[in-house]
Amino acid sequence: MHEHEHSLEDGTVIKHTHTHTQTKAVLNRMARLIGHLESTKRMIEDGRDCSEVLIQLSAVDAAIKAVGRIILKDHIEHCIVDAVKTGDTAEIERLNKAIEQFIR
């Protein structure tokens, strides 16, 4: 469970409590991703073919994007739904900024 608060422009303080249902899945994927990245690093250290390394880096990149999508979906389903219900436009704006950086 995650709890935080925001202050609206009018000074109103809004407290949010969210249960992110995908935390365990994200952590499991991150552990696999870190292992995959370490394996790719060893490939470079061992002087493996550049084409093989690039293919592995592409797989790591895809795995990172997949984790980001899971986090984004979970955030929308929990935090943003709550933000809309409470009128917390600041939370929605933070999401918009995060999405801009995520899709670059």
Quote the pLDDT of residue 8.
Answer: 62
- Residue 8 lies inside a defined structural domain of this protein: no
- Residue 5 lies inside a defined structural domain of this protein: no
Quote the pLDDT of residue 2.
Answer: 57
Q: Dig out the tokens for 4 from the structure.
A: 């935080």
Number of structural domains (the chain) is: 1
- Residue 14 lies inside a defined structural domain of this protein: no
74: CATH: 1.20.58.1000
Please tell me the distance from the alpha carbon of residue 15 to that of residue 6, in angstroms, as a whole number.
7
- Residue 7 lies inside a defined structural domain of this protein: no
- Residue 13 lies inside a defined structural domain of this protein: no
**Measuring CA to CA, which residue among 23, 29, 27, 25 is closest to residue 2?**
23
Quote the pLDDT of residue 77.
Answer: 86
Check residues 85 and 56 and name the one with the higher pLDDT: 56
Check residues 35 and 82 and name the one with the higher pLDDT: 35
The domain containing residue 83 runs over which residues? 22-102
Give the predicted TM-score (pTM) of the model: 0.70
What value, to the nearest 5°, has the Cα angle with vertex 23 and ends 21 and 17? Answer: 60
- Residue 74 lies inside a defined structural domain of this protein: yes
Contact (CB, 8 A) for 29 and 62: no
Query: Which ranges in the chain belong to alpha helices (H)?
Result: 23-45, 50-75, 81-86, 89-102
Q: pLDDT tens digit string along 12-32?
A: 776 656 567 888 999 999 999
Compute the average pLDDT of residues 58-71.
Answer: 93
For 81, other C-beta atoms within 10 Å of its C-beta total 12
- Residue 6 lies inside a defined structural domain of this protein: no
- Residue 57 lies inside a defined structural domain of this protein: yes
